[in-house]
Amino acid sequence: MKYYGARFFFFLLMSLGCVDKADIALVSQQLPFIIEAAVTNAPGSDTVKITKAYPADGGYYSRVGVSGAKVRIISDAGESDRLTDIGRGMYITDTLQGVIGRSYQLLVSLSDQNGEHHYQSTAQRMLPAGAIDGITYEFTSQVNSSTGLSENGFNVYVNSSVSVSSSRRLRYKILGTYKVNTNPELIQIRTDCATPPCPTMSLPCATNCECCVCWVSEREKFPVLLDPDFVGGTTITRIPVHYIPINNYTFNERYRVEVTQMELSQDVYDFYSALRKQMLNASSLFQPPFFELRGNVEAQNQGPRVVGIFSATATTRQHLYINRGDVPYDMVSEPIAADCRAVAKNSSNQIPPFWE
């Protein structure tokens, strides 16, 4: 299992969705249930994700969302929210709204041929998130470790402040979004469809330019954590949180970067710290196996094992736009002969509600 560990969990946390095909004949054993859950004080529903993974051919994993679970979140104020199953292993809260200072607990019941199995998290008290005082960026030219080629980009930094009583166990979530305009009419291999054609990736043809303008979403590759052992005081400056390569896609027009800050409990911080180390050391022969990751969700009977993490976190967020004109040299514009929905992962022709 050492070979599979970090790569498996990387795909668990970085992707939200598709159920991959599993070759059941190749399944030698079933892995634990995976539970990812959080309650926040942000508007809207919170989400619990429950999946089951199976080893498949070629050293990869197939993931299947688990439906039919009974999921509740309770608080020390007597609140209880039975989450709604919306399919694909996703469950959303109905009435619960996180409040700073209150404690929350996750309760999950899963059934299989051996009966019903119960899982429970430790109680998590919601801590203040502090404040994001500003986001800055800085041009850099460096060698890409994957390609060995020189690459220009922007390093993104955050300035934060916390209370005197803060633990400084901060986590930063990043959402990068950029708009890309393409020219699918320049594609050389065409199909018999209306103009402009959208023949790539088996996507349907369009009668109007549904495949010319898209928005691409990017998230952090690894958990971004602030090490409290190296920070003193209540003001923290130039925390590196994101890197944006400069190319004809990311700065086809402009790039929006949004940073969310939260303070974690000790056990949640330890989990993400261990996960980060595994992901960064994925190529190491001495990498600890995936099963050694310890979350804060435990089985209450002799049911199947679980790797689960539940957090209760207040959040604060801020964003900025970096425009194409902020690149400190003249960029050469080249037409992109492609369906915009196929140029990158998480590309959509639906404009995000936050885009300005």
Domain boundaries, the chain: 5-128+264-313, 131-262+316-348
Residue bearing the bigger pLDDT, 204 or 326:
326
Residue bearing the bigger pLDDT, 287 or 32:
32
Residue bearing the bigger pLDDT, 340 or 256:
256
Contacts of 26-32 with C-beta under 8 Å, sequence gap 24+, read: 26/55, 26/56, 26/57, 27/54, 27/55, 27/56, 28/55, 29/55, 30/54, 30/304, 31/55, 31/61, 32/291, 32/304, 32/305, 32/306, 32/307
Helix (H) or strand (E) holding 235: strand 235-245
Residue 57's pLDDT band, with cuts at 50, 70 and 90, is: low
Neighbours of 102 (CB within 10 A): 17
The CA angle 120-126-131, to the nearest 5 degrees, is 145
Average the pLDDT over 97-118 and give the result: 93
**pLDDT confidence of residue 223:** 94
Q: Does residue 196 have a cis bond before it (omega within 30 degrees)?
A: yes
Q: Would the pLDDT of 51 be above 60?
A: yes
User: Under a CB-based contact definition with an 8 Å cutoff, are residues 243 and 155 in contact?
Assistant: yes
